[in-house]
Chains A and B, each alone.
Chain A
Amino acid sequence: DSGVTQTPKHLITATGQRVTLRCSPRSGDLSVYWYQQSLDQGLQFLIQYYNGEERAKGNILERFSAQQFPDLHSELNLSSLELGDSALYFCASSVGGLTYNEQFFGPGTRLTVL
């Protein structure tokens, strides 16, 4: 158990819909990262927040957005969903915001778009 929690575990929705994935970092961690894992693209870094501010952006689509709240939990919003958005979405957290900080990954949210 990494100490990072993600909800929900599974999500099934239809094309065109909008969903919100939630992540609670480990106690004391200020950074939250979001990743997408799909069969064809592998693991891809989406976005990083540090203490409420966006720190880095990876391959995140414009239809996707994220935020980190004052209590440090984070939400990833996915809108206008397409079949290709079906994937495992992981959240990770780290103490600092630097690239060499060890990241602790949550169990993931499996999104299925029908």
Chain B
Amino acid sequence: DAKTTQPNSMESNEEEPVHLPCNHSTISGTDYIHWYRQLPSQGPEYVIHGLTSNVNNRMASLAIAEDRKSSTLILHRATLRDAAVYYCILSTGNQFYFGTGTSLTVIP
């Protein structure tokens, strides 16, 4: 029973914005939404997290729907170094539930 669902793959042109969607329809009020990414042959790397409000940091923005049942990770200008698998994760209580990830291809 997947807690988060993500598209398997997406493509983006270099220097274009990328919107990576995630559905988490069973989210509860205290669950956090996290995004991590995994480059080839590396461990996952933190991107951003949020609870209810939209969040921005130097890497990305996180837009959370008003009903919190979905969220979107926004990379403002994709670079070749952003090619990775992006995981949408729910943390509930002290549990972490990973989605299957979206493999992002950046086209030069």
**B residues contacting the other copy or chain, number (CB 8 A):** 21
Chain A contact-residue range equals 20 to 34
**Given that A42-B98, A43-B98, A45-B98 are known contacts, is A99 also in contact with B43, CB under 8 Å in the complex?**
no
**A-B pairs with CB below 8 Å: how many?**
53
Interchain CB contact (< 8 A) of B43 among A55, A56, A90:
A90
Q: Are A44 and B98 in contact (CB under 8 A)?
A: yes
CA distance A71 to B22 in the complex (A): 38
Residues of B within 8 A of A105 (CB): 36, 42-45
Q: Are B95 and A56 in contact (CB under 8 A)?
A: yes
18 extra interface residue pairs, beta carbon distance < 8 Å, beyond A2-B43, A33-B96, A42-B101:
A42-B98, A42-B100, A43-B87, A43-B101, A45-B95, A48-B94, A55-B94, A56-B94, A56-B95, A58-B95, A90-B43, A92-B44, A99-B93, A100-B32, A103-B36, A104-B46, A105-B36, A105-B44
Interface of chain B, helix or strand or loop or mixed?
A: strand
CA distance A106 to B43 in the complex (A): 6
Interchain CB contact (< 8 A) of B97 among A45, A48, A90, A104:
A45
